[in-house]
């Protein structure tokens, strides 16, 4: 029942708001509408990319031969599928990135509020960095970052 | 008739601005190729392009036109959809980054204030981060879709490299954020306008950021993904026509945007010394500010090229070691020292 | 709180120990020492909470109950290390990492025992779960282990998503994450919260493998390396229950709506009991039987959650202790055998009388036969349900299921004592025997004097 | 924008995620669907945070904090999950969960 | 303290026995059982002079309000005595046997004795439950380890039956516990609380099913013949001589006084079940060829009668039941001793293969006849007085019930005499010709049985005095 109400409200708001995009919303930096220009730019970029892609598709000549459509392997005959498992190192790097990157995420709100938090916050962050370093040293020692072998 | 209450002026203004920015990016990118060759020639003591137009100035146009009219080849083994998606994403991302960079202060045209920033969002830095990290998808998808061993290898390398250098980049930025206390690029510039440039406070941070910017743009000495002597041209090996063009363009646009970003964040952006004490018309100041930013950006683009023709390419393990074992600890230390110093000065 | 800190730090320390210490025996000793330290640190906190818990930043509430449960979990882990610590080496190379992961799980458990904020609940459950995904797949070359790991991961992550949606919807309705302020058992509940609660109950049921959210359990327990199954199906499961219990007793109790939750949960309980027990009957492998039996035992522990009374709280502590010790013991012996089927136990009583006696006593405890800890465990949870007043049908059902459980537990005893055979048994060390005797003693002592544990509450 | 929009969007995303988990057979896609669920939750959480902040609750920021934790945990899950999927792929050369039925008796 | 000793001695002896070798366990068992007999007799003496000294209370689980509370009333003394004597008789009978792993055998026997003693002395419901279970487990192992061919399945069935029953009882106990005003498990609290009749209605069944399985009463009896048949005979002696009394005892101690209205409501149903059991078991016994099964069925019939008498709810019948518990225990043990002897001599259980034993083993034949007659309840044997009291109690309750139950007596006479005839009279065959007569140990055991039969048959007063106080209490509370 409540959802039905929500649905109606949704419908009303949808019609109302989208039609009525006011300058007030558009110029303020704190509302979702401050992203509106970004949407415009996205549309522009999409349009540019799409049109160019289409244009080149029709502009270029088309003389397809089977040899031409084979993957280039320095002139020797193609062997097997390219999509083989890669060295696990790359994968490990990716995973480590994910892990460390989210730790970096935590620095952002801290950095923005850093002056208000003062030394207490700094100490907490120091602890956090210590854990960060623990992980970092651990993976280093484990040889996760060794590419030489 | 609610439609009429839309602020058409605002929209037109933004559309114009966006078009200008995009065209500017493209033109700068195009002429970067020319610049690159000229700089290379200059460094290597040769002439560089000089046939098309005066000083070869029409060379980029010729190159662009050629790309448009080249045959479009999609290998049979490739995944067609992804094959097209890859360069598209790369280009899209390159075009999106410029949205939050403040190209200048506010112009006043016919009583309307016109900001020279497409969108002043309060999380500008995060936006750039978010969009830039999308770039790796373009490369990865492109490399994967080609179904070519070299391409795949290159794209995996590129992905690894880009994400690896994103960490120190983020950490370096955090030190900057501690200083500025805001994520809005506009405010960062405004702060520098009234004080010293951030590079003074953050030399190490700037240095780390710069190195990471090189890596993010796959520029030499970190251009492993397209190391032609190892990988026959890298992730865009199978590409031709404008799809190849997109990859190349994207790289140059990225270089441009990176330079602009470095200038904005560390070198005062559109601010230039004494800009508020010259006593000029505000619009004039704004235009001068834009020019200042443009000059700074051009300098960094030049710097990119200068480095390219000066420093040899890293080996992959050296690259990764530099990223993980040198830059990350350095950036962390930079962050902590910055924090401690700021707090100490506060009291 | 001490337990949380000490286990988390121990985990980190053990990771590094693995880097610098090559001898696997030494790593084991490190782990044992660490768990003892954590145990003592945890108990050291007891005097400060004896007169009432204290709250930290509205996130964690340290209570006597939490401290006691941590003591049980840490004690059971200690026993587990003593009994099965040397089995870690057989799984793979990274022994120290396995130990470290177990310590992280323990940190999650101690968080689960003392959260007072939904954020901490979420973190507790995740900290408990994620290391388990890794442990389940620790035997990297074994396809069964791989599958267990993948299945566990996908299911676990899925249930996490559901849990989070539940939490979010509840937050949307209540505006707070503090479990004491949610008041989900009140006279009327916001419709958003209704959906949230149901999602949450489902997700938590998932984590404690209650029917019908149990389907991952047998496969995962069967596929995982046995030494980790032993831990996962005991201490960790108890940790899940403690989270469930805290959530239910603090937020869902009191008020007319709470009866509906009780009803939902009692249906889940009934299903868990019936399915767990009946499926266990048909298993051929003891390991798999124990997996199903853990589902069945979960049914009993759910009583403590439903009942929402003091008896239930005591019951879940006792049940955790009894169930953990007994199951860890059975698994420890199982790991010494070559053949995990029932036939593998044939004639064990002749060949290794001590092992046979130990298994018998542990199984008695699991079946709930007096003078073993399991009896009082069952006693308390059944009492809790009877005290609740409206659950007598469930109690009778539980009793019938307990009788069924005797069937499959006794199959092992029958195999050991009454059948002829020559079971392949690995070398039994004196230390193992001593630990086994310790476990037997614990089971019997708790079976005679449950108040030794409960007097702390 | 009213919070209902966000509720509907999130629920829709969440349901897409759930259906994906239940219907797809490729481990990676299931995994992506799970991430979709988590992101739906994140979105909703932030929306609710805003809602309660507008309603005058001073502690509404805690929901945004929650989102951070969800992200972190999701990252941890990604790390573990991808590792597991890779491991399975290396052993079976497939990530189809249907062929993983060895444990069923 | 005497009461505690009754439990402790067999318990400790049992534990020690596991560690002994050779004939050690045998001797230990003998000593321990003799000691328990002496203590039981001592307790009897004390009961006359200072009954309170038999009670012992110690704190156990204060949180639950459960105490270690043992004590003896008349019925308790009598049953403890029966238990002690039964084990003594068993140990005497099997003294010459050599069991494989005899240490375990004796250990388990003694442990089961400890459990039984605990059941009969418990005055705390939780403790009662625990001993109830504990008495069962050693028996389970005894049957499964030393029993007949089908022992594993059969004893398993037996175990699950009784375990299920006792779990139901546990539910009942917990429920009652919450009803007691002082949250205590003590017998006094249980009997003094006021339960509403609605609750009593279903609580009765929780308890009755548990006890009925143990006794066993139709239709819960199906485990019994199989188990008796498959168990090693010494264990069967304990099962049928003492363990089934646990059920009767429990009804008298924990059902009637605690749930009086429930019992009153359902007593007709219970009695009807019992009578069906009597007639059904007797009929099967008549056509039974297997000696052990025959006696098993006869036991069902007898227990059925006792159970029916309990629910007849008057003092006479209660008194009758109580002394019959003792007497039936003695008689049936006597019978089983003879069965054990026959089985050991002949190696078969089929009655058709027997005959003419009177010539070969005259002493045994005499014993058999006396015990059988006692079992039927002939005057001047101990069986008579109990049966007489029960029948008169049942008669007071309802004529028809008495009439049907009386049918059981007649049928009992038929199959018992038939059995005697088949065993000791008629033509001997090659198998029976090899039989030898009783050995000294066996003679001693049987003599003890027969002496008790005769003495109690002629002079039952001490027994009646012993149980009268208890039956009064039960009747009053009922």
DSSP string over B155-189: HHHHHHHHHHHHHHHHHHHHHHHHHH----HHHHH
- Beta pairing partners, E68: E58
Measured N-to-C along each axis, helices A114-142 and A88-112 cross at an angle, to the nearest 10 degrees, of 160
Cross-chain Cβ contact A114/B181 below 8 Å: yes
Q: In the predicted model, is pLDDT for residue B1 greater than 50? A: no
For chain A, the chains sharing at least 3 beta-carbon pairs closer than 8 angstroms are B, C, D
- Beta pairing partners, E57: E69
Cross-chain Cβ contact E130/C451 below 8 Å: no
pLDDT of residue D102: 55
Provide the chain D residues 76-95 that lie in CB contact (below 8 A) with chain C. Answer: 76-77, 80-81, 83-85, 87-88, 91-92
Instruction: Report chain B residues whose CB lies below 8 A from the CB of A59.
Output: 68-69
Query: Does D contact C via 3+ CB–CB distances below 8 Å?
Result: yes
Cross-chain Cβ contact C222/D103 below 8 Å: yes
Query: Does E contact A via 3+ CB–CB distances below 8 Å?
Result: no
Tell me the domains of chain D and their CATH numbers: 3-95 (1.10.287.3510)
* HEC profile of chain A: CHHHHHHHHHHHHHHHHHHCCCHHHHHCCCCHHHHHHHHHHHHHHHHHHHHHHHHHHHHCCCCCCCCCCCCCCCCCCCCCCCCCCCCHHHHHHHHHHHHHHHHHHHHHHHHHCHHHHHHHHHHHHHHHHHHHHHHHHHHHHHCCCCCCC
pLDDT of residue C32: 92
Q: In whole angstroms, give the CA distance from residue A82 to residue C233.
A: 43
Nearest residue in chain A measured CA to CA from D77: A99
Q: In whole angstroms, give the CA distance from residue C154 to residue C146.
A: 12
Nearest residue in chain D measured CA to CA from A91: D83
Cross-chain Cβ contact C19/A134 below 8 Å: no
From B119, B121, B129, B64, select the one nearest B93 (Cα to Cα). B129
User: What is the helix (H) or strand (E) element at residue B114, kind and residue range?
Assistant: strand B112-115
- Beta pairing partners, E67: E59
Selected residue with higher pLDDT from B230 and E45: E45
- Residue E227 domain flag: no
- Residue A6 domain flag: yes
Q: Decide: E377 and E384 in contact? Cβ < 8 Å.
A: yes
Cα of first residue to Cα of last residue in chain E, in angstroms, is 30
pLDDT of residue D43: 92
pLDDT of residue C6: 92
Complete DSSP assignment for B199-251 = HHH-HHHHHHHHHHHHHHTT-TTS-GGG-HHHHTTGGGTT--HHHHHHHHHHH
Rg (CA), chain C: 21
Which residue from C314, C383, C403 is facing E167, i.e. has the nearest CB?
C403
Q: Decide: C387 and C309 in contact? Cβ < 8 Å.
A: yes
Cross-chain Cβ contact D4/A106 below 8 Å: no
- Beta pairing partners, D26: D96
Provide the chain B residues 115-174 that lie in CB contact (below 8 A) with chain A. Answer: 118-122, 126-127, 144, 146-153, 156-157, 159-160, 163-164, 166-167, 170-171, 174
Residue ranges per structural domain of chain C: 2-454
Cross-chain Cβ contact C19/A141 below 8 Å: yes
Q: Within 10 Å of residue E160's Cβ, how many Cβ atoms? A: 16
Cross-chain Cβ contact D92/C143 below 8 Å: yes
What is the dihedral sign for C-alpha E416, E422, E425, E431? negative
Domain total of chain E: 1
Report the alpha-carbon angle E175-E178-E179, nearest 5. Answer: 90
Q: In whole angstroms, give the CA distance from residue C263 to residue C268.
A: 9
pLDDT of residue E434: 73
- Residue A97 domain flag: yes
- The values of phi and psi at residue C162, to 5°, are -65, -40
Interface with chain D: mutation pick from A95, A112, A139, A142, highest number of D CBs within 10 Å: A95
| In chain B, % of residues over pLDDT 70 | 96
Distance from CA of B263 to the nearest CA of A (A): 21
Q: In whole angstroms, give the CA distance from residue E331 to residue E278.
A: 18
Distance from CA of A54 to the nearest CA of D (A): 30
Cross-chain Cβ contact E174/C414 below 8 Å: no
Scanning C175-236, the segments in alpha helix (DSSP H) are 179-182, 191-207, 216-223, 226-231
Cross-chain Cβ contact C12/A134 below 8 Å: yes
Q: Decide: B240 and B72 in contact? Cβ < 8 Å.
A: yes
CATH number of the domain bearing residue A142: 1.20.58.1610
What is the dihedral sign for C-alpha E53, E54, E55, E57? positive
What is the dihedral sign for C-alpha B173, B176, B182, B184? negative
Instruction: Report chain A residues whose CB lies below 8 A from the CB of D7.
Output: 6
pLDDT of residue A32: 63
Instruction: Report chain A residues whose CB lies below 8 A from the CB of B6.
Output: 20-22
pLDDT of residue E162: 86
Distance from CA of A10 to the nearest CA of D (A): 6
- Whether A97 has its CB under 8 Å from any CB of chain D: the answer is no
pLDDT of residue A23: 37
- Whether C150 has its CB under 8 Å from any CB of chain D: the answer is yes
Which residue from C119, C146, C157 is facing D91, i.e. has the nearest CB?
C146
Interface with chain B: mutation pick from A13, A29, A37, A146, highest number of B CBs within 10 Å: A37
The band of A16, judged by pLDDT with boundaries at 50, 70 and 90, is: very low
Nearest residue in chain A measured CA to CA from B114: A27
Q: In whole angstroms, give the CA distance from residue B141 to residue B137.
A: 6
Q: In the predicted model, is pLDDT for residue B229 greater than 70? A: no
Q: Which domain holds residue E430?
A: 260-478
- Whether D56 has its CB under 8 Å from any CB of chain C: the answer is no
Of the residues A11, A26, A61, the one at which a domain ends: A61
- Whether D63 has its CB under 8 Å from any CB of chain C: the answer is yes
From E471, E128, E469, E478, select the one nearest E322 (Cα to Cα). E471
What is the dihedral sign for C-alpha E98, E101, E102, E106? negative
Cross-chain Cβ contact D82/A88 below 8 Å: no
Nearest residue in chain D measured CA to CA from A21: D1
Q: How does pLDDT run across B266-315, given as a tens digit for each residue?
A: 988 888 887 777 777 888 888 888 898 999 999 999 998 888 888 888 88
Cross-chain Cβ contact D2/A109 below 8 Å: no
Distance from CA of A107 to the nearest CA of C (A): 19
Query: Does D contact B via 3+ CB–CB distances below 8 Å?
Result: no
Report the alpha-carbon angle B208-B209-B210, nearest 5. Answer: 90
Report how many Cβ contacts below 8 Å link chain A to chain D: 45
Residues of chain C with confidence (pLDDT) below 70: none
Same domain for A88 and A145? yes
Domain total of chain B: 1
Same domain for A57 and A98? no
| In chain A, % of residues over pLDDT 90 | 1
Instruction: Report chain C residues whose CB lies below 8 A from the CB of A137.
Output: 16
Rg (CA), chain A: 27
pLDDT of residue B6: 59
If phi > 0 it is left, if psi is from -120 to 50 it is alpha, else beta; for residue B56 that is left
Scanning chain B, the segments in alpha helix (DSSP H) are 8-43, 59-69, 80-96, 124-146, 149-180, 185-194, 198-201, 203-216, 228-231, 241-266, 282-308, 316-321, 328-346
Report the alpha-carbon angle C4-C9-C10, nearest 5. Answer: 100
User: What is the helix (H) or strand (E) element at residue E59, kind and residue range?
Assistant: strand E56-61
Instruction: Report chain A residues whose CB lies below 8 A from the CB of D90.
Output: 85
Distance from CA of A114 to the nearest CA of C (A): 20
Q: Decide: C119 and D66 in contact? Cβ < 8 Å.
A: yes
User: What is the average pLDDT across A14-38?
Assistant: 51
pLDDT tens digit at each of 478 positions of chain E: 788 888 888 899 988 888 888 788 888 888 898 898 998 888 888 887 877 778 888 888 877 778 888 888 888 888 888 889 888 888 888 887 777 788 888 888 899 999 999 898 888 888 889 888 888 888 888 888 887 778 888 888 888 888 888 888 888 888 888 888 888 888 888 888 888 888 888 888 888 888 888 888 888 888 888 888 888 888 888 888 888 888 888 888 888 888 888 888 888 888 888 888 888 888 888 888 888 888 888 888 888 888 888 888 788 888 888 888 888 888 888 888 888 888 877 777 777 777 777 777 788 888 888 888 888 888 888 888 888 888 888 888 888 888 888 888 888 888 888 888 888 777 777 777 777 777 788 888 888 888 888 888 888 888 888 888 787 777 777 6
Average pLDDT of chain D?
86
Interface with chain D: mutation pick from A31, A97, A99, A142, highest number of D CBs within 10 Å: A99
From A60, A49, A54, A53, select the one nearest B70 (Cα to Cα). A60
For chain B, the chains sharing at least 3 beta-carbon pairs closer than 8 angstroms are A
Q: Tokens 């137009």: give the residue.
A: B53
pLDDT of residue D38: 93
Domain total of chain A: 2
The band of B136, judged by pLDDT with boundaries at 50, 70 and 90, is: confident
Q: In whole angstroms, give the CA distance from residue C136 to residue D88.
A: 12
Provide the chain B residues 271-310 that lie in CB contact (below 8 A) with chain A. Answer: none
Distance from CA of A39 to the nearest CA of D (A): 17
From E155, E289, E162, E279, select the one nearest E218 (Cα to Cα). E279
Per the structure block, which two tokens stand in for E336? 């089983």
For chain D, the chains sharing at least 3 beta-carbon pairs closer than 8 angstroms are A, C
Which residue from A13, A94, A102 is facing D2, i.e. has the nearest CB?
A13
Distance from CA of A65 to the nearest CA of B (A): 10
Instruction: Report chain E residues whose CB lies below 8 A from the CB of C314.
Output: 63
pLDDT of residue C426: 84
Q: In whole angstroms, give the CA distance from residue B192 to residue B270.
A: 10
Distance from CA of A132 to the nearest CA of D (A): 13
Q: Which domain holds residue B24?
A: 2-51+60-219+228-346
Per the structure block, which two tokens stand in for B252? 């140059």
- Residue E175 domain flag: no
Residue C358 DSSP SS3: helix
Which residue from D71, D82, D86 is facing A102, i.e. has the nearest CB?
D71
Cβ within 8 Å of residue E425, ≥6 positions away: E355, E356, E358
Cross-chain Cβ contact C191/A2 below 8 Å: yes
- Residue E46 domain flag: no
pLDDT of residue A31: 61
Q: Which domain holds residue A20?
A: 1-61
């Amino acid at each position: 029942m409540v959802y039905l109400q929500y649905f109606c409200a949704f419908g009303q708001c949808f019609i109302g708001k989208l039609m009525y995009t006011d300058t007030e919303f558009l110029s303020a930096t704190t509302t979702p509408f401050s992203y509106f220009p970004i949407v415009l730019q996205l549309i522009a970029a999409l349009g540019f990319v799409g049109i160019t892609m289409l244009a080149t598709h029709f502009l270029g000549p088309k003389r397809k031969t089977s040899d031409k459509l084979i993957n280039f392997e320095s002139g020797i005959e193609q062997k097997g599928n390219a999509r083989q498992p890669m060295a696990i190192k790359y994968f490990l790097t990716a995973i480590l990135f994910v892990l460390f990157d989210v730790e970096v995420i935590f620095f952002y709100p801290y950095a923005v509020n850093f002056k208000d938090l003062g030394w207490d916050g700094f100490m907490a962050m120091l602890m956090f960095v210590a854990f960060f370093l623990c992980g970092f040293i651990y993976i280093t020692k484990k040889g996760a970052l060794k590419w030489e072998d | 008739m609610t439609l009429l209450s839309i602020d058409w002026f605002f929209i037109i203004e933004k559309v114009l601005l966006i078009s200008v920015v995009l065209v500017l990016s493209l033109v700068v990118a195009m002429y970067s190729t020319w610049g690159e060759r000229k700089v290379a020639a200059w460094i290597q003591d040769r002439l560089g392009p000089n046939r098309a137009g005066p000083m070869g100035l029409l060379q980029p146009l010729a190159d662009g036109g050629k790309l448009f009219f080249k045959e479009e080849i999609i290998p049979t083994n490739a995944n067609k959809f992804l094959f097209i998606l890859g360069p598209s994403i790369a280009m899209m991302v390159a075009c999106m980054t410029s949205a939050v960079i403040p190209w200048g202060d506010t112009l006043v045209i016919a009583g309307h204030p016109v900001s020279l920033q497409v969108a002043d969002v309060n999380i500008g830095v995060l936006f750039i981060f978010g969009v830039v990290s999308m770039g790796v998808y373009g490369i990865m998808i492109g490399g994967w879709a080609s179904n070519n061993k070299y391409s795949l290898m290159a794209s995996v390398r590129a992905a690894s490299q880009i994400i690896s250098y994103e960490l120190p980049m983020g950490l370096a930025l955090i030190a900057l954020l501690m200083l500025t206390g805001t994520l809005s690029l506009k405010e960062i510039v405004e702060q520098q306008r009234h004080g010293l440039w951030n590079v003074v406070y953050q030399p190490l941070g700037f240095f780390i950021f710069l190195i990471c910017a090189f890596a993010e743009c796959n520029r030499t000495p970190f251009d492993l993904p397209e190391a032609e002597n190892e990988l026959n041209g890298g992730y865009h090996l199978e590409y031709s026509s404008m799809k190849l063009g997109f990859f190349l363009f994207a790289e140059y646009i990225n270089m441009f945007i990176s330079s602009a970003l470095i200038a904005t964040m560390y070198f005062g952006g559109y601010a230039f010394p004494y800009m508020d004490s010259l006593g000029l018309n505000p619009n004039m100041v704004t235009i001068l500010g834009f020019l200042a930013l443009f000059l700074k950006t051009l300098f960094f683009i030049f710097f990119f090229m200068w480095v390219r023709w000066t420093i040899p390419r890293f080996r992959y393990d050296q690259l990764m070691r530099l990223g993980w074992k040198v830059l990350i600890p350095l950036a962390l230390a930079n962050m902590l020292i910055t924090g401690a110093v700021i707090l100490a000065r506060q009291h | 709180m001490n337990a949380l800190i000490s286990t988390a730090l121990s985990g980190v320390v053990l990771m590094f120990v693995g880097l610098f210490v090559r001898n696997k025996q030494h790593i084991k000793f490190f782990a044992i020492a660490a768990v003892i330290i954590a145990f003592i640190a945890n108990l050291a906190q007891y005097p400060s909470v004896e007169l009432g818990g204290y709250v930290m930043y509205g996130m964690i509430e340290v209570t006597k109950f939490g401290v006691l449960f941590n003591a049980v979990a840490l004690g059971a882990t200690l026993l587990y290390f003593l009994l099965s610590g040397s089995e870690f080496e057989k799984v793979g190379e990274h022994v120290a990492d396995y130990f470290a992961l177990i310590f992280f799980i323990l940190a999650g458990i101690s968080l689960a025992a003392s959260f007072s904020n939904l954020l901490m609940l979420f973190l507790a459950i995740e900290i408990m779960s994620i290391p388990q995904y890794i442990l389940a797949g620790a035997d990297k070359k074994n396809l069964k282990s791989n599958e267990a790991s993948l299945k566990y991961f996908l299911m676990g992550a899925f249930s996490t998503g559901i849990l989070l949606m539940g939490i979010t919807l509840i937050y949307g309705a209540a505006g707070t994450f503090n479990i004491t302020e949610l008041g989900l058992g009140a006279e009327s509940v916001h419709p958003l919260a209704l959906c949230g609660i149901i999602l949450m109950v489902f997700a938590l049921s998932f984590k404690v493998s209650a029917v019908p959210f149990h389907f991952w359990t047998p496969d995962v327990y069967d596929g995982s390396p046995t030494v980790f199954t032993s831990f996962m199906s005991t201490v960790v499961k108890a940790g899940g229950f403690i989270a469930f219990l805290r959530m239910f007793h603090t937020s869902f109790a009191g008020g007319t709506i709470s009866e509906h939750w009780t009803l939902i949960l009692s249906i889940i309980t009934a299903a868990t009991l019936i399915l767990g027990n009946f499926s266990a009957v048909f298993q051929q492998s003891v390991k798999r039987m124990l997996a199903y039996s853990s589902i069945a035992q979960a049914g009993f522990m759910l009583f403590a959650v439903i009942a929402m009374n003091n008896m239930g709280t005591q019951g879940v502590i006792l049940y955790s202790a009894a169930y953990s010790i007994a199951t860890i013991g059975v698994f420890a012996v199982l790991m010494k055998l070559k053949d995990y089927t029932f036939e593998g136990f044939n004639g064990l009583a002749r060949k290794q009388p001590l092992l046979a006696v130990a298994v018998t006593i542990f199984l008695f405890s699991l079946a709930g036969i007096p003078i073993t800890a399991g009896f009082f465990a069952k006693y308390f949870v059944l009492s809790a349900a009877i005290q609740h007043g409206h659950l007598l049908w469930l109690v009778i059902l539980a009793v019938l299921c307990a009788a069924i459980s005797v069937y499959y537990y006794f199959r092992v005893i029958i195999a050991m004592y009454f059948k002829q055979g020559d079971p392949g048994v690995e070398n039994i060390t004196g230390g193992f025997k001593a630990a086994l005797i310790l476990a037997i003693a614990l089971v019997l002592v708790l079976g005679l004097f449950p108040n030794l544990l409960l007097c702390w509450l | 924008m009213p919070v209902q929009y966000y509720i509907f969007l999130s629920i829709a995303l969440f349901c897409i995620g759930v259906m994906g988990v239940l219907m797809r057979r490729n481990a990676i896609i299931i995994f992506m669907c799970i991430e979709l669920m988590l992101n739906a939750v994140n979105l909703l959480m932030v929306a609710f945070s805003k809602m309660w902040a507008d309603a005058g609750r001073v502690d509404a920021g805690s929901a945004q904090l929650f989102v951070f934790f969800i992200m972190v945990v999701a990252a941890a899950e990604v790390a573990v999950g991808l590792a597991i999927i890779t491991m399975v792929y290396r052993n079976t050369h497939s990530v189809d969960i249907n062929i993983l039925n060895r444990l069923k008796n | 303290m005497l009461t505690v000793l009754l439990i402790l001695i067999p318990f400790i002896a049992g534990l020690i026995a596991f560690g002994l070798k050779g004939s050690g366990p045998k001797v230990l068992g003998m000593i321990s059982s003799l000691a328990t007999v002496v203590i039981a007799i001592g307790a009897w003496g004390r009961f006359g002079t200072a009954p309170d000294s038999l009670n012992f209370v110690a704190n156990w689980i204060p949180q639950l309000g459960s105490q270690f509370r043992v004590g003896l009333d008349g019925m308790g003394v009598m049953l403890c005595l029966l238990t002690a004597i039964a084990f003594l008789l068993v140990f005497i009978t099997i003294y010459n046997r050599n069991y494989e792993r005899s240490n375990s055998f004796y250990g388990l026997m003694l442990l089961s004795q400890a459990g039984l003693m605990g059941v009969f002395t418990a005055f705390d419901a939780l403790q009662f439950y625990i001993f109830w279970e504990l008495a069962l487990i050693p028996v389970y192992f005894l049957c499964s380890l030393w029993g007949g061919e089908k022992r594993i399945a059969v004893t398993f069935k037996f175990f699950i039956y009784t375990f299920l029953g006792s779990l139901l009882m546990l539910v009942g106990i917990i429920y009652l516990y919450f009803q007691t005003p002082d949250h205590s498990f003590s017998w006094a609290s249980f009997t003094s609380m006021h339960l509403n009749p609605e609750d009593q209605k279903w609580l009765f069944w929780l308890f009755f099913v548990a006890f009925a399985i143990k006794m066993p009463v139709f239709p819960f009896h199906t485990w019994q013949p199989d188990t008796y048949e498959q168990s090693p005979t010494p264990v069967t002696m304990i099962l049928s001589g003492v363990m089934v009394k646990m059920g009767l005892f429990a009804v008298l101690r924990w059902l009637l006084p605690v749930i009086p209205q429930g019992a009153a409501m359902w007593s007709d149903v219970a009695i009807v079940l019992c009578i069906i059991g009597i007639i059904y078991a007797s009929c099967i016994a008549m056509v039974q060829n297997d000696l052990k099964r025959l006696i098993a069925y006869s036991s069902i019939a007898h227990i059925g009668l006792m159970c029916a008498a309990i629910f007849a709810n008057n003092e006479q019948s209660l008194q009758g039941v109580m002394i019959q518990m003792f007497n039936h225990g003695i008689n049936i043990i006597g019978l089983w001793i003879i069965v054990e002897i026959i089985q050991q001599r002949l190696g078969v259980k089929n009655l058709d293969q027997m005959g003419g034993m009177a010539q070969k083993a005259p002493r045994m034949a005499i014993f058999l006849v006396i015990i059988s007659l006692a079992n039927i309840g002939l005057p001047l044997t101990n069986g008579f007085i109990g049966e007489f009291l029960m029948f008169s109690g049942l008669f007071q309750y309802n004529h028809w019930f008495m009439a049907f139950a009386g049918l059981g007596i007649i049928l009992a006479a038929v199959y018992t005499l038939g059995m005697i005839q088949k065993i000791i009279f008629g033509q001997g065959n090659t198998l029976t010709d090899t039989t030898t007569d009783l050995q000294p140990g066996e003679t001693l055991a049987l003599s003890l049985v027969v002496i008790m039969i005769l003495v109690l048959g002629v002079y039952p007063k001490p027994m009646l005095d012993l149980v009268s106080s208890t039956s009064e209490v039960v009747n009053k509370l009922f």
